[in-house]
Structure 1
Amino acid sequence: MKEKIKLFLDTDLLEKYLLGATTDLETLQVERYIAMYPEVRKTYNELQENLEEFAKSYAVKAPEGLKEQILSRVKAQNSTRRKFMSYAVAASVVALLFASASYFFYNQNLNLQEENSMVTNQIKLLEADMKERLEDVRNQFIVLNNPDTKQYKLKGNKKAKDLKAVAYVNPVKKLSYINVQNLPHLEEGQYLQMWAEVNGKMLNLGILKDAGSKDNLLAIPYSEDAVGYITIENEGSNETPTVENIVANITF
């Protein structure tokens, strides 16, 4: 394995990669070696630092009119000196241009890598979110259309007498949802919150904000002998339900 890494480091692929001069195939090979082998990654980081220091040291913008002043002085000298100075000026200009170009392409490469990483992460997040949404839609369809699904109608007690909801539980697919059909009028600063007691643990399922169509469902964790509660809570962080404010419950 070490011989393989040494052979790779003996090539100029890392330098070409830093300057953006590798082919697509070479780029894939370099990125794979950087990700897999710490020795390659260390060498790559050192080359990055050296290139950045070199570029920063020489990427100095020439003052305006410098070229014209140098050419004017060169013309005043004899032909031998004029030729020598012309070569020196040309070499200096080329060196400055090369350093500036190297630093520019180095920064461009870093920016492109960062943008590519951001876009890749965003795509992954979107794919995960879309997958989750599609899974939820599929489960809702199963619950609403499967003959094994049982329906439980919920009505609020005297503290929330206008509350109406329907729970859909499918013990075969182990899925359960609740649909809030009507919300009671509550005092300012109060809201209805859904809870589920599963395997002895109380889970916060969120605030019931909207009442709507049959397709407006809230997922509930399924468990045999689970108990669901709806409580009236005041604004603030509640880790457990307020028992005296339970307005509806259902046993699955």
Structure 2
Amino acid sequence: MKEKIKIFLDSDLLEKYLLGSTNEMESLQVERYIAMYPEVRDTYNELQDNLESFAKLHAIKTPDGLKEKILARIKSERTGRKKFFRYAIAASIIACVFASASYFFYNQNQNLQQENTIVSNKIKTLEADMRQQLEDVRNQFIVLNNPQTKKYNVRGNRMAKDLKAIAYINPVKKLSYINVSKLPELPENQCFQMWAEVNGKMLNLGIIEEAGNKDNLTALPYADNAVSYITIEPKGGNVSPTVNKIVANIAY
């Protein structure tokens, strides 16, 4: 059942339903899942709150008192004038007001369309980020709880004796993560940087800012016979690893 819910959440049906782009069958499926499964309902409510926040942020308010100003202007022009001129002037004023209003609302409509595009793009970016985060959490859960995951204790060499880390490798799911639990102190002009050699290419995995807790996992690119390295580099990181300052390696 959980796998069924995961498959549903990994699809984009909830997002499409929120944006009104599902067909009748898809809408019925989404509504059934929302009613039956708390996990789906929570995710739907969160997406709905995010969409509502974006909509409120970019809402366009009609100018206050527009109707009252139009009626007051018409009434003032009627006073003390002949019937013909009263109606002529009133008609002219109405025409001018409605022309101005039309131009105003045309511009507002153009701005609204542009802002709607921005909001839609932000929502798509948010959805992509959420899916990526959910995917990463799912993968971490698999790596930490799957019995086929292999754990490798990583120790630093003589240049970083206190460095400690644990690598988690799952060859079945083809997932790799590392948790750096302890880092030795370095001079202010140096830093630790992580690398991965995959299919003959060296990939920069970024600077290790500080040691994390047991749940702070960093994803590693998975490949057969891949090797990851931790090196000491100048502050700010390097574009390529300094091979004579490799302090730890992880082969998997």
Q: TM tier, shorter chain? A: 0.5 to 0.7
The alpha-carbon distance between structure 1 residues 100 and 181, as it changes in their structure 2 partners (threshold 3 A), is: same
Q: Which residue of structure 2 lines up, in the alignment, with residue 16 of structure 1?
A: none
Q: Which residue of structure 2 lines up, in the alignment, with residue 248 of structure 1?
A: 248
Q: Which residue of structure 1 lines up, in the alignment, with residue 127 of structure 2?
A: 127
Q: Could you tell me the percent identity over the aligned residues?
A: 66
Distance 1:248 1:197 in 2: 13
The alpha-carbon distance between structure 1 residues 69 and 212, as it changes in their structure 2 partners (threshold 3 A), is: closer
Highest CA radius of gyration, 1 or 2? 1
Matched residue type, 2:159: K
Establish whether residue 168 from structure 1 lines up as the match of residue 154 from structure 2: no
Establish whether residue 136 from structure 1 lines up as the match of residue 136 from structure 2: yes
The alpha-carbon distance between structure 1 residues 69 and 226, as it changes in their structure 2 partners (threshold 3 A), is: closer
TM-score normalised to structure 2 length: 0.66
The alpha-carbon distance between structure 1 residues 92 and 150, as it changes in their structure 2 partners (threshold 3 A), is: same
Aligned length: 182
The Cα shift of 1:237 comes to 5.2
Distance 1:157 1:205 in 2: 20
Q: Structure 1: which 5+ residue stretches go unaligned?
A: 1-64, 75-81
Distance 1:69 1:168 in 2: 82
Q: Which residue of structure 2 lines up, in the alignment, with residue 207 of structure 1?
A: 207
The CA deviation string for residues 154-206 of structure 1, in whole angstroms up to 9 with x for no partner, is: 11112111100111111111111111010110000211111000001000011
Distance 2:175 2:110 in 1: 48
1:40-189 equivalences under 5 Å are: 74=81, 82-189=82-189
Q: Secondary structure of the equivalent of 1:186?
A: coil
The Cα shift of 1:143 comes to 0.9
The Cα shift of 1:109 comes to 1.6
Distance 1:203 1:194 in 2: 9
Matched residue type, 2:249: N
The CA deviation string for residues 101-128 of structure 1, in whole angstroms up to 9 with x for no partner, is: 1112212222322332222222211111
Distance 1:69 1:119 in 2: 44
Matched residue type, 1:104: F
Distance 1:99 1:69 in 2: 18
Q: Secondary structure of the equivalent of 1:172?
A: coil
Q: Structure 2: which 5+ residue stretches go unaligned?
A: 1-72
